[in-house]
């Protein structure tokens, strides 16, 4: 049975059983992975999955499930189980429905490439990335390569029938010289001709080479230049906090901040669901609304939470096309670039710190935004135009504080998506004033 026929069958049966709103989102995914470490492949993987995500509503009671065995019998049994479970349940009082379709969809440039589907074996790209890192002086190289091919079929009880097909290829490379000297580079694209595994390997190798013989770093307040890899991590965490759902659940410092200044005026942050060549781009959200650009922070002012239709109606506004039927989420976060070259940005700092990557970002308090994160890979003390390798420091600050102290953003931007940056982020190099830096003293 074709996937749309299957979707229709599920919708028809849901209607027969008396459900109200119903959304059927079917996926076919083919994903490959090549993992490597110590300059050799540690494992190669392949995933083939077919599944249907189902969302149903019954008098404001809502439920979701996933069906993987797509027989008529399983579908019927699943729907009946949901029905009997939902009948005695209390309603979600603040449920306001799903989007009214149909909609028209536009192709997003550079999100599908047959060449990726037909790619037989991607090991060659891994070897190229490893070799570029080794050429820069690295001794050990580790990382991961993925290829993706996804088909999505969406049908809703409100007249939506939508299809999207996407591809992607990405690599994440970490290069080491000794135990303490490392660098990281990534490259994530949707079409093969834009794929540049060497650039990721080269960057990882270059930073590792610059980071030789690091000394214990200082503590205090410093002007910090965040590499796109590092700032993407913070913006990825931030994007979760801009979901209206996260705000209601007590996981956001943006609560009660609509219309208020939350960042320096040079900061404009958007979510762009239809970003060409964006790793998170998709034609429509989970209820079928065509994805778009939503300005979250405009010139330093907090403009919008990310919404689905139900939450939008609750707050008497329009959806931002970020469903998640339960929790809206960002697709691709974009920090608008500035007009400084990378060199000019570094010239702005007389004494400061260059952080090339971070990990383990954790919050003491999500509502105030107090957090810390750990720089990893090359960290450099900037003094009179020189980069001196340091180690063992921690960025300990406040998320809104960081945003309000953004001093300069570069022209050059990078699209980042890897293990530590789940929501893809496009960001320039960012100079932040007076960033809190701590370290262990025993």
Residue 211: alpha-carbon gap to chain centroid: 28
* Residue placing its CB nearer to another protein in the complex, 53 or 110: 53
**Residues, the chain:** 442
250 binds another protein (CB under 8 A): yes
**Which of positions 166-205 make contact with another protein (CB under 8 A)?**
172-174, 176, 179, 184
68 binds another protein (CB under 8 A): yes
Q: Which residue from 158, 199, 301, 361 is in contact with another protein, where contact means CB under 8 A?
A: 361
* Residue placing its CB nearer to another protein in the complex, 47 or 315: 47
Query: Taking Cα atoms as reference points, which of 239, 262, 270, 258 lies closest to residue 368?
Result: 262
Q: List 31's β-bridge partners, or say none.
A: 47, 148
Residues 153, 107, 295: CA angle, nearest 5 degrees: 100
Q: Which residue from 218, 351, 360, 383 is in contact with another protein, where contact means CB under 8 A?
A: 360
Residue 36 in tokens: 């490597």
Span from 190-198, 289-297, 362-370, 381-389 in contact with another protein (CB under 8 A):
362-370
Q: Which residue from 249, 265, 317, 341 is in contact with another protein, where contact means CB under 8 A?
A: 249
Whole-angstrom distance, CA of residue 116 vs CA of residue 98: 34
The least CB distance from residue 83 to another protein, in Å, is: 11
64 binds another protein (CB under 8 A): yes
Query: CB-based contacts of 309: which residues, under 8 Å, 6+ apart?
Result: 96, 97, 98, 99, 287, 289, 319, 323
Span from 18-26, 230-238, 248-256, 269-277 in contact with another protein (CB under 8 A):
248-256
Q: Which residue from 10, 34, 154, 232 is in contact with another protein, where contact means CB under 8 A?
A: 34
Span from 42-50, 191-199, 406-414, 429-437 in contact with another protein (CB under 8 A):
42-50
Helix pair 3-16, 72-87: axis angle to 10 deg: 40
Q: How many residues bind another protein (CB under 8 A)?
A: 84
Q: What is the CA radius of gyration of the chain?
A: 23
The least CB distance from residue 81 to another protein, in Å, is: 7
**Which of positions 304-333 make contact with another protein (CB under 8 A)?**
326
- Is the backbone of residue 300 left (phi > 0), alpha (psi -120 to 50) or beta? left
133 binds another protein (CB under 8 A): no
Query: CB-based contacts of 303: which residues, under 8 Å, 6+ apart?
Result: 258, 259, 295, 296, 297
Q: Which residue from 75, 142, 235, 400 is in contact with another protein, where contact means CB under 8 A?
A: 142
* Residue placing its CB nearer to another protein in the complex, 172 or 356: 172
Q: Which residue from 3, 10, 119, 140 is in contact with another protein, where contact means CB under 8 A?
A: 140
1 binds another protein (CB under 8 A): no
Whole-angstrom distance, CA of residue 322 vs CA of residue 307: 6
Query: CB-based contacts of 255: which residues, under 8 Å, 6+ apart?
Result: 247, 367
* Residue placing its CB nearer to another protein in the complex, 107 or 368: 368
268 binds another protein (CB under 8 A): no
* Residue placing its CB nearer to another protein in the complex, 46 or 386: 46
355 binds another protein (CB under 8 A): no
Span from 41-49, 262-270, 301-309, 402-410 in contact with another protein (CB under 8 A):
41-49
Q: List 351's β-bridge partners, or say none.
A: 383
* Residue placing its CB nearer to another protein in the complex, 252 or 277: 252
Span from 16-24, 242-250, 275-283, 404-412 in contact with another protein (CB under 8 A):
242-250
Helix pair 123-135, 197-210: axis angle to 10 deg: 30
The least CB distance from residue 191 to another protein, in Å, is: 22
Residue 87: alpha-carbon gap to chain centroid: 37
Whole-angstrom distance, CA of residue 181 vs CA of residue 174: 10
* Residue placing its CB nearer to another protein in the complex, 1 or 89: 89
Evaluate the omega torsion of the peptide bond into residue 102 and state whether it is cis, within 30 degrees of 0: yes
Q: For the chain, what is the largest distance between any 2 Cα atoms, rounded to a whole number of angstroms?
A: 74
* Residue placing its CB nearer to another protein in the complex, 71 or 107: 71
């Amino acid at each position: 049975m074709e996937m749309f026929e299957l979707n229709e069958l599920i919708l028809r049966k849901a209607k027969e059983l008396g459900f109200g709103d119903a959304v059927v989102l079917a996926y076919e995914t083919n994903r490959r992975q090549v993992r490597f470490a110590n300059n050799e492949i540690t494992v190669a993987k392949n995933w083939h999955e077919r599944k249907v995500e189902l969302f149903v509503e019954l008098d404001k009671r809502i439920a979701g499930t996933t069906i993987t065995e797509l027989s008529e019998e399983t579908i019927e049994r699943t729907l009946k189980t949901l029905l009997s479970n939902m009948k005695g349940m209390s309603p979600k009082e603040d449920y306001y429905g799903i989007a009214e379709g149909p909609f028209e969809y536009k192709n997003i440039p550079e999100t599908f490439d047959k060449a990726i589907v037909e790619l037989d074996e991607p090991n060659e790209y891994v070897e190229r990335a490893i070799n570029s890192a080794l050429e820069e002086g690295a001794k050990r190289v580790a990382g991961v390569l993925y290829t993706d091919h996804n088909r999505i079929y969406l049908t809703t009880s409100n007249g939506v029938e939508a299809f999207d097909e996407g591809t992607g290829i990405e690599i994440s490379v970490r290069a080491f010289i000794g135990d303490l000297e490392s660098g990281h580079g990534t490259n994530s694209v949707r079409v093969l001709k834009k794929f540049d595994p060497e650039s990721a390997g080269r960057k990882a190798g270059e930073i590792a080479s610059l980071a030789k013989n690091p000394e214990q770093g200082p503590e205090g307040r410093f002007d910090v230049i965040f590499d796109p890899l590092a700032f993407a991590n913070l913006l990825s965490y931030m994007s979760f906090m801009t979901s209206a759902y996260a705000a209601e659940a007590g996981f956001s410092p943006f609560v009660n901040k609509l219309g208020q200044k939350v960042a320096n005026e040079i900061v404009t942050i958007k979510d762009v669901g239809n970003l060409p060549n964006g790793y998170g781009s998709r034609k429509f959200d989970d209820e079928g609304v065509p994805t778009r650009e939503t300005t979250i922070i405009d010139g330093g002012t907090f403009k919008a939470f990310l919404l689905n239709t139900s939450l939008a109606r609750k707050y008497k506004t329009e959806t931002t096309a970020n469903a998640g039927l339960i929790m809206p989420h960002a697709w691709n976060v974009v920090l608008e670039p500035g007009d400084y070259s990378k060199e000019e940005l570094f010239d702005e700092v007389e004494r400061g710190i260059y952080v090339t990557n971070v990990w383990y970002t954790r919050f003491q308090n999500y509502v105030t935004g107090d957090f810390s994160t750990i720089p990893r890979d090359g960290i450099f003390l900037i003094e009179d135009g020189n980069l001196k390798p340091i180690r063992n420091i921690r960025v300990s600050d406040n998320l809104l504080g960081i945003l309000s102290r953004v001093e300069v953003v570069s022209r050059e931007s990078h699209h980042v998506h890897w293990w530590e940056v789940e929501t893809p982020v496009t960001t320039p190099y960012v100079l932040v004033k007076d960033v809190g830096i701590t370290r262990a003293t025993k």
